[in-house]
Amino acid sequence: MIIVLRPKTREEDKNRIIDKIHSLGLKTMISQGVERTIIGVIGEEDIMRVQPMEAFPGVEKVIPVLAPYKLVSREFKPEDSVIKVKGVDIGAKRVVVMAGPCAIENLETLRDIATAVRKSGALILRGGAFKPRTSPYSFQGLGLEGLKIMKEVADELGLLSVTEVIDPRDVELVVKYADIMQIGARNMQNFNLLKEAGKSKKPVLLKRGMMSTIKEFLMSAEYILSEGNFNVILCERGIRTFETYTRNTLDINAVPAIKMLSHLPIIVDPSHATGKWGLVCAVSRAAIAAGADGLIVEVHTHPEQAASDGEQSLNAENFDKMVKELTAIARAVGREI
Ligand code: PEP
Ligand code: MN
pLDDT in tens, 179-188: 999 999 999 9
Choosing from 63, 95, 111, the residue where a domain stops is 63
**Same domain? 167 vs 305:** yes
**Same domain? 174 vs 285:** yes
**Same domain? 166 vs 272:** yes
Residue of 124, 237, 250, 308 to test ligand 1 pocket, by largest number of atoms within 8 Å of CB:
237
Choosing from 16, 31, 63, the residue where a domain stops is 63
196: left (phi over 0), alpha (psi -120 to 50) or beta: alpha
Q: What pLDDT is stored for residue 125 in this prediction? A: 98
Q: Indicate whether 337 belongs to any domain.
A: no
Residue 65 confidence class, pLDDT cut points 50, 70, 90:
confident
Residue 175 confidence class, pLDDT cut points 50, 70, 90:
very high
Q: Are 243 and 96 a contacting pair, CB within 8 Å?
A: no
Q: Indicate whether 74 belongs to any domain.
A: no
Choosing from 15, 31, 63, the residue where a domain stops is 63
**Same domain? 33 vs 90:** no
Res 239 pLDDT > 80:
yes
Going by alpha carbons, the residue nearest to atom 6 of ligand 1 is 184
pTM of the predicted protein model:
0.94
Give the range of the structural domain holding residue 24, as residue numbers without chain letter: 2-63
Residue 135 confidence class, pLDDT cut points 50, 70, 90:
very high
Q: Indicate whether 21 belongs to any domain.
A: yes
Residue 312 confidence class, pLDDT cut points 50, 70, 90:
very high
272 C-alpha to ligand 2 centroid (Å)? 6
| Ligand 1 pocket member 237 (CB < 6 A) | yes
Q: Indicate whether 245 belongs to any domain.
A: yes
Here the CATH number for the domain that contains residue 58 is: 3.30.70.1140
Closest CA to 261 of 36, 69, 41: 69
| Ligand 1 pocket member 202 (CB < 6 A) | no
Q: Which residue(s) pair with 63 in the sheet? A: 2
Question: Based on the structure, what is the number of domains in the chain?
Answer: 2
Res 113 pLDDT > 90:
yes
Average pLDDT over residues 92-120: 98
Q: Indicate whether 300 belongs to any domain.
A: yes
**Same domain? 193 vs 277:** yes
**Same domain? 59 vs 138:** no
Rounded to 5°, the CA angle 272-273-274 comes to 90
Q: Indicate whether 78 belongs to any domain.
A: no
3-state secondary structure 99-138: EECCECCCHHHHHHHHHHHHHHCCCEEECECCCCCCCCCC
**Same domain? 89 vs 154:** yes
**Same domain? 34 vs 151:** no
Residue 192 confidence class, pLDDT cut points 50, 70, 90:
very high
Q: Indicate whether 69 belongs to any domain.
A: no
Rounded to 5°, the CA angle 136-140-141 comes to 180
| Integer Cα distance of 145 and 107 in angstroms | 10
| Ligand 1 pocket member 206 (CB < 6 A) | no
Q: Which atom of ligand 1 is nearest to the CA of 237?
A: 9
Res 45 pLDDT > 80:
no
| Integer Cα distance of 148 and 94 in angstroms | 29
**Same domain? 181 vs 56:** no
**Same domain? 143 vs 8:** no
177 C-alpha to ligand 2 centroid (Å)? 20
Here the CATH number for the domain that contains residue 104 is: 3.20.20.70
Rounded to 5°, the CA angle 133-97-129 comes to 30
Residue 66 confidence class, pLDDT cut points 50, 70, 90:
confident
**Same domain? 182 vs 282:** yes
Q: What pLDDT is stored for residue 119 in this prediction? A: 98
CA distance readout (Å), 111 to 95, 126, 152, 159:
24, 12, 9, 11
**Same domain? 163 vs 220:** yes
| Ligand 1 pocket member 306 (CB < 6 A) | no
